[in-house]
Structure 1
Amino acid sequence: MLNYVTTNPGKVREAVQYLGDAEVGQVDFDYTEIQAPELGPIAAHGAREAYRQFGEPVLVDDAGLFVDALGGFPGPYSSYVEDTVGVDRVWKLGEGEENRRAEFRCVLAYCDGEEFRASPDPIDRDDRVAAAAAGADENAEEEEDALPVKLFEGVVRGRLVAPRGEGGFGYDPIFEHDGKTMAEMSTEEKNAISHRGRALAKFGEWFAER
């Protein structure tokens, strides 16, 4: 059983599409969300904590909107910014910028307590630089005892625009890809180019050989 740590059943349904015959279950676990300038360390920390809680293979994701002209803001703070500042104000911040390029990113972190090789996106005991970038494992007495975690990233590129569309959620109304905002897309259109879907596709290919 692969435990997807999320409160959103839609993520589990999306994962099933990419994972073939793998059995995927939803787990609601409030892991510690550390502060970090990148998504990887946050997801990796959550995966380690969730694995220690359940003792079974776990998948944790973290995602955000990264706006070039705002130095990547709101990035890993996207959820907090949406709740406190609001989507419209993020648009107002970028409205006057000539460069409105932006991207949605998602990082999936997988942990099953076992060793694995360092491709395609490494965080393991054989890659000290990547392991350090992913954040220290606070429960390990020594770095060598840190739980190995693998990261898989998905990205969809677009641009920041004035809010359009009635669908989707979060930043979807202000993110345009190929002429449509995410809020103007059907569920099928959105899933076809989803940053989470792209990360799941990478993970699914690797997991099939795991």
Structure 2
Amino acid sequence: MRAEDLEALREDMLAVIAACAFALRGTIGKSALDDRVMRAMGKVPRHEFVPIELQPYAYANIPLPIGFEKTISQPFIVALMTDLLDIKPQDSVLEIGTGLGYQAAVLAQLARKVYSVEIIEELGQKAKQRLRQQRCSNVELKIANGYHGWPEHAPFDKVIVTAAPDLIPPLLIHQLKAGGKMVIPAGLPDAQKLILAEKHANGRVTTKETLSVRFSQLEGT
């Protein structure tokens, strides 16, 4: 596809994300996502993070298969999860479930450092290649069981999980800084909710459910 066609599709994607946020304002608690998040979504070429045969559909607001029975989340969910984290420029962010690297590339626009963990080696290697091509030099990726986090670089300001456990893994809560936030889908396969967890200064954790979602199961649990 021509670059100008892809650019037009990306603009359409941003419009759809904005419309979804407004339509769900009662559920997500705001009528528009943060400008920094929207700029990051507009900057990252999503078509570079999907299989080549699916590039014509890259900017549609739908999840797309990336192999190994995994998907890249629909753009609105990527934007919403990023927005819920409220990432600051000096933050270090842990991502569990790299996939082909799209969410990590969006996070890289906003955070100081992104540590991303992918359990499937082939996906992880493809993600490394794509992130390198997009010059996301502040993303570090490893192939491992994300259920255990990345303790060597903990604690993290923010944690994002792109696959769903039944319950929030205690190790990931432990690796979150006091004052930090985690966004994670959790629950049984037919009853998953997108959850925002916050760790307070005294170590107490509070959770808030937002949307009903459907993510693939977090492996290694």
Output the TM-score relative to the length of structure 1: 0.26
More RCO (CA 8 Å, sep 6+)? 1
Rg comparison, structure with higher value: 1
